[in-house]
Structure 1
Amino acid sequence: MTKKILGVFVIAFFMAAFVLFAEDAPLAPSPDAKGDNFLLAADFRNAFAEYRKLLLENVNSPLSEYYFAKCVSVMGSSGGAINPEQLLDIEKINPKNAILAANLLRLKTGSFLKQGRVADAERVADEMGFVKDWLIIGPFDNATKAGYKKVFPPETEFHTDKTYEGKNGKNTWRQLSVRPPFGTIYFSNLFRADSYVAAYAAVFIRAEKEQPVAFRTCSSGPLKIWLNDRLIAGIEAYRECDFDQDCTAGRLKPGWNKLLVKICQKDGEWEAALRITAPDGGRVEGIVLQNNIDIIKKEILPAYIPDDSDTQIDADSGAVGYFSKLIENNPDDHFALAGLAFMYDFKKILDENDKTVSNNARKALEKNPGNDFYRYLAGTCDEDRNKRLEALLQLSGKNPPSAMALFKLSELYSSTGGGNSGRRRAVSANEAEDITKTFSVPMPFREEEFLNAALKQNPDFVQASLALVGIYNRRGTPWSLEAEKISKRLLTLAPENPVIVRLTYDDDLHTTAENAGHYAKLLAVDYTDGNARNYCIYYLKQAGRKDEVLKEYRAFLQLNPFASSIYQRMADYYEGCDEYEESIACLNKALETNPEDIAAFEELGNYYLILKDIPKAQENWEKALAVKPNLPDITEHLEALKPKEKKFWEGIAANPVVYAAEALADTEVPLHASAVNCLKNEIIKINPNGTSSTFSQQVVKVFDEKASMNINTYP
């Protein structure tokens, strides 16, 4: 009996010792710890190499999207020091994971656009299954963000010839006049109202057979999806729009299927995109899309049958779904918690006020407090500034300190106090003492010191150097000389970074032709560089190179055909060339995109007035008032077109705009510019009955500079 008791005691002792040892033993390192450590040191090339290696090792796994995201994130942090082609070459091995393949195609689209291969980029977007043919209706009211839950008529009925009360008037279904070349619809360019609004997009899909599909969406605001009048998705999140943020499974029935999407917005960007894929993310074959209103009305709607079946279908949601399942099976899985937090943050999936990212990051850190990347993740994602500061200062106090943490501290400090005004709140002595006591690290008092500390750890840290250049340039001479020196060195590290190129080139030291050539070279490096294109247009205009100016405007429209503002800029340019018919054509194109563009209607009226087509001028101004009644300027234009008695000068109308156009064309007496200006300023004093003050009558008779000078001194 004694031996048995002793044996039990020995076993219990060793079991207890084993448990204690297991509790004290360090957790197994994260599989991407090596790459994470390089990232924290701002050694982006080695971090990229490690993540790329892990991507290749997991190329057919759901983790492939996670490591792809880490590679892309590092490329962004490198400030242009890493070429995306180093990631694109993975496409050559033809990965079986369709989610990874789609991400590579998206990266390829960006690469094609950068090279100016717009047609190739559009072809790739088609291969990815983006829906580009839509019907749209809106805007409806989303005041106080109530529009997401409110049921508007398009949710309960579909009639192409009905009008509904919208936020600012009547709404009716219309066919999208411009196909989004790369999938994204920019709703702000399609409707006049673009704040606290909602809209709907619809398309009919013909399937040869019953088949499961996945609808992969991204949006800048909440959205809902109905398939055959059954709600299949609701995502209530105000966020930035990014690729494949959400995945919703559905089943197409044979024949025509109705897809309806609701997109809400509060302020800022208003955009969305949708891809139709197989459940695993691959291509869908045998479907046809239709958005022609006449065909839908005559051929599809009469035979359309809603579908209320609720068959459960699984769709691959990539790394997000993978990490979510791991956490469901083990809520304490620190790698999955941190991985999900990273993916949520990278893809901007959650609502701007959602705290899941920071909560997951903190929980991962609690489970594995020795993981510095988890601490960094918490330090960059937490909504609480003090908690971010705490995590980043702990990392900056390591030996060696984390260069990335120091850089993030500089960003945190630069945003303290004055925001964009450039003011900085000095850290008090008490704050510095408290931080030093708590974290046992010296507390830098200025953004500059954090940046210099980061550059001490890694002199090739491009983003930190750029931030330092910004500080020195704001100070002026002699600091700007140091900024110039740093910028020239940066050019060797990231020669294609447009910010660096601009810092090392001074337009004032070159001729107009040289400047135009310089920005044309920048566009040859990156066709999507809108800033370079604007400068190029500016100098081409100065050089009088009309064909090249128009070519660059068309390039803008290639990249974003929804940008009606470009049509308006082209109209202004043609006006300067006295080509009013071309100006009118440009504004009519703008109205095809947004039929409620008040500015376009007003300018059209002005151009027709110059061309002496009074009925057309009146027609366009009346259209503007139909969109928004009681616009003062346009009301005055229309009032001026009404016939008036000519009491004091034969052939001169009471409207200064009309007078300026007619008098300059008809009179044989040259009008001095100052006299005409004086006339235009004073003629408005004419009374409705045609009479006017003596002063106004005198102004009407001004035809030379001397009279203009006299009348300007008239009491």
Structure 2
Amino acid sequence: MKEPSVAQLIQPLIDIKKFGTGNNAAIETWGKVASLPASDVPRLLSAMNQANDLGDNWIRAALSKISEKNQTSLPIQQIIKFIKDKKNKDDARKAAYDIIQTHNPKVTAKLAPSFLDDPAPDLRRISVALMIDQIKDIKSEAKKEKLLHFALNKAREVEQIKEINEGLKAIGQSVNVTNLMGFLVNWHTVGPFDNTERTGFDKRFRPEEQTGLDQKYKNAGKIITWSPFSTTEEFGMLNINKQYGEIKEVCAYAQATFKSKKSQPAHFRIGSKNAWKFWLNGKLLFARDEYHRGKTRVDQFVIDGNFKKGENLILLKICQNEQTQSWTKQWEFNFRVTDRSGTVIHSNENISN
């Protein structure tokens, strides 16, 4: 019987689906894939471009085995070529980098500075981290300031931006981090709506269907309307308690208009420790029914979506539960928009529909 080709061996790892579909075939082939020679590492990296997250994990495990067994015979130049090809998936390129970093760090030391403008966030982070470390050793304040500003414009990862900003503050410089990171700070809110026993999360209150800012809603025997809501907090945090007081078992809606100069994909980056839902132009993109697990963080959740050209309506529903401990008082969110590399997309206020 003819032995299967390398492509045939790898295919079950690409084909594996959720809920265990294809799992048996993956188990059967994985040992053979993990025994492939080092020369097949580039082929496995390419397979990551086609695999879903499950398949990606199987392939990574095989790559780890192969790399460990063949440390001195890895096809370094082919792997470097794969890393440099931005058509490959970000995660696959980073996996390729990690293989070389583990077994030949002198090579990655030469590669690391080249990722400052890379669309892959994890690779870009490596270059920025290297630059931050180099800046720390600079004695000239003028040169340090110049390089910190340069690094700030290249950084996309939140903690790196914070670190660079602190470096600028230490030499008396101020940066509008809110604008730099693209936080949406001007909203309108309406509420509060009932969330007794957490039932409000799934209940369709009228703002989900009638979003106009001139709308009036009857709620708990009262008429409520949309009201402006903004923040000056550096990282765009909007404290809904300031709108309605520190109340419990309630929901509120927040909406903002975002003007996009073109139709384009985007990453919507939301931070909130409350339960929330997010609609873009009337389409529900994501919902999270969970309360007070950890702190609210910048870029806590990243959701894929697509802007249409012109005005886009962003609608959020933020729910507060019944807990009364001190660490459950927060009713808050922050929100910003970037491309897939983490580069901020700003609303273009000059656009009119």
- Secondary structure of 2:197 counterpart: helix
CA RMSD of aligned residues (A): 4.8
Q: 1:188 to 1:215 in 2, by over 3 A?
A: same
2:148 and 2:164 in contact (8 A); partners too:
no
Q: 1:272 to 1:195 in 2, by over 3 A?
A: same
1:165 and 1:171 in contact (8 A); partners too:
yes
2:307 to 252, 255, 266: 252
1:218 and 1:274 in contact (8 A); partners too:
yes
Identity fraction in percent: 26
> Equivalents in 1 of 2:250, 2:128: separation in Å?
32
1:211-261 deviation line (CA, Å, top 9, x unaligned): 332211111122221111111222333332111111223222233221111
Q: 1:55 to 1:172 in 2, by over 3 A?
A: farther
Q: Which has the larger radius of gyration?
A: 1
> What amino acid sits opposite 1:104 in the alignment?
Q
Residue aligning to 2:285: 232
> Equivalents in 1 of 2:336, 2:319: separation in Å?
19
> Equivalents in 1 of 2:320, 2:136: separation in Å?
35
> Equivalents in 2 of 1:146, 1:70: separation in Å?
45
1:139 and 1:193 in contact (8 A); partners too:
no
- Secondary structure of 1:237 counterpart: coil
> Equivalents in 2 of 1:246, 1:195: separation in Å?
24
The answer to whether residue 163 in structure 2 is matched with residue 107 in structure 1 is: yes
**Richer in helix (by share):** 1
- Secondary structure of 2:179 counterpart: helix
Shift of 1:209: 2.9
TM-score, structure 2 length as denominator?
0.53
Q: 1:188 to 1:168 in 2, by over 3 A?
A: farther
Residue aligning to 2:245: 192
Residue aligning to 2:184: 131
2:333 to 250, 254, 272: 272
Shift of 1:154: 1.0
Shift of 1:135: 0.6
Equivalences for residues 232-381 of structure 1 within 5 A: 232-238=285-291, 239=293, 240-266=295-321, 267-284=328-345, 287-288=348-349
Shift of 1:190: 2.1
1:151 to 183, 204, 208: 204
Residue aligning to 1:426: none
2:190 and 2:253 in contact (8 A); partners too:
yes
Where structure 1 has 5 or more consecutive residues not aligned to the other structure, the ranges are: 1-18, 20-24, 33-51, 72-81, 291-299, 304-715
Shift of 1:142: 2.4
Equivalences for residues 392-471 of structure 1 within 5 A: none
> Equivalents in 2 of 1:175, 1:264: separation in Å?
19
The answer to whether residue 118 in structure 2 is matched with residue 63 in structure 1 is: no
1:167-217 deviation line (CA, Å, top 9, x unaligned): 795532101165445311111222124323221111112333323322111
- Secondary structure of 2:200 counterpart: coil
> What amino acid sits opposite 1:141 in the alignment?
D
1:214 and 1:276 in contact (8 A); partners too:
yes
> Equivalents in 2 of 1:143, 1:55: separation in Å?
52
1:133 and 1:289 in contact (8 A); partners too:
no
1:28-66 deviation line (CA, Å, top 9, x unaligned): 49999xxxxxxxxxxxxxxxxxxx999768764543477
1:565-601 deviation line (CA, Å, top 9, x unaligned): xxxxxxxxxxxxxxxxxxxxxxxxxxxxxxxxxxxxx
> Equivalents in 2 of 1:187, 1:254: separation in Å?
30
**Richer in strand (by share):** 2
Shift of 1:126: 0.5
Residue aligning to 1:183: 236
Equivalences for residues 700-711 of structure 1 within 5 A: none
Shift of 1:153: 1.3
- Secondary structure of 1:99 counterpart: coil
Where structure 2 has 5 or more consecutive residues not aligned to the other structure, the ranges are: 1-34, 36-64, 72-94, 99-108, 138-143, 322-327
1:487-522 deviation line (CA, Å, top 9, x unaligned): xxxxxxxxxxxxxxxxxxxxxxxxxxxxxxxxxxxx
1:386-430 deviation line (CA, Å, top 9, x unaligned): xxxxxxxxxxxxxxxxxxxxxxxxxxxxxxxxxxxxxxxxxxxxx
- Secondary structure of 2:244 counterpart: coil
Shift of 1:133: 1.0
Q: 1:209 to 1:190 in 2, by over 3 A?
A: same
> What amino acid sits opposite 2:339 in the alignment?
A
Residue aligning to 2:264: 211
> What amino acid sits opposite 2:122 in the alignment?
L
Q: 1:256 to 1:96 in 2, by over 3 A?
A: closer
> What amino acid sits opposite 1:107 in the alignment?
E
Q: 1:285 to 1:70 in 2, by over 3 A?
A: closer
> Equivalents in 2 of 1:260, 1:128: separation in Å?
20
> Equivalents in 2 of 1:181, 1:168: separation in Å?
37
2:155 and 2:161 in contact (8 A); partners too:
no
Q: 1:129 to 1:204 in 2, by over 3 A?
A: same
Shift of 1:134: 0.6
- Secondary structure of 1:190 counterpart: helix
